[in-house]
């Protein structure tokens, strides 16, 4: 009776095929993980941008309301100018600072125009 022969080339080819298949699966898994991480990072970036936009709009609204309040107070104080001449320069400086801050925000964030 003859002994079966072992074809080492056939075994090597089989092992190589298995290893190649595993390497391919690992590459696919890595690509999917990278794609998922990229999508997650993009979503987080978009959320952060939206949150920043909302915060900027809220700050602009707050400053605009404060500017309006100061303007009204200045007008009221001017009506009684004789007794409050010392307060006007302070209020005027505050008003000018707010106008400057609002203008800077308008220049920096174009969506605030108007």
CA distances from 8 to 13, 29, 41, 60, 85 (A): 8, 31, 49, 77, 104
With respect to residue 67, please indicate whether it lies within any of the assigned structural domains: yes
pTM over 0.85: no
In the numeric block, the tokens 């080819």 are attached to 13
Give the residue numbers spanning the domain of 91. Answer: 8-112
CA of residue 68 relative to chain centroid, distance: 30
Per residue in 44-97, pLDDT (tens digit) is 999 999 999 999 999 999 999 999 999 999 888 888 877 677 788 888 999 999
What would the DSSP string read from start to end of 72-100? HHHHHHHHTGGG-TTHHHHHHHHHHHHHH
Q: Does 3 reside within a domain?
A: no
Q: For the chain, how many structural domains are there in total?
A: 1
């Amino acid at each position: 009776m003859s002994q079966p022969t072992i074809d080492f080339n056939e075994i090597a080819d089989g092992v190589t095929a298995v290893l190649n298949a595993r390497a391919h699966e690992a590459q696919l898994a890595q690509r999917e993980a990278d794609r998922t991480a990229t999508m997650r990072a993009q979503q987080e970036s978009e959320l952060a941008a939206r949150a920043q936009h909302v915060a900027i709009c809220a700050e602009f609204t707050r400053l605009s309301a404060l500017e309006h309040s100061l303007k009204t107070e200045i007008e009221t104080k001017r009506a009684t100018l004789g007794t409050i001449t010392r307060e006007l320069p302070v209020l005027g400086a505050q008003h000018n600072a707010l106008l400057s801050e609002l203008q800077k925000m308008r220049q920096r964030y174009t969506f605030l125009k108007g």
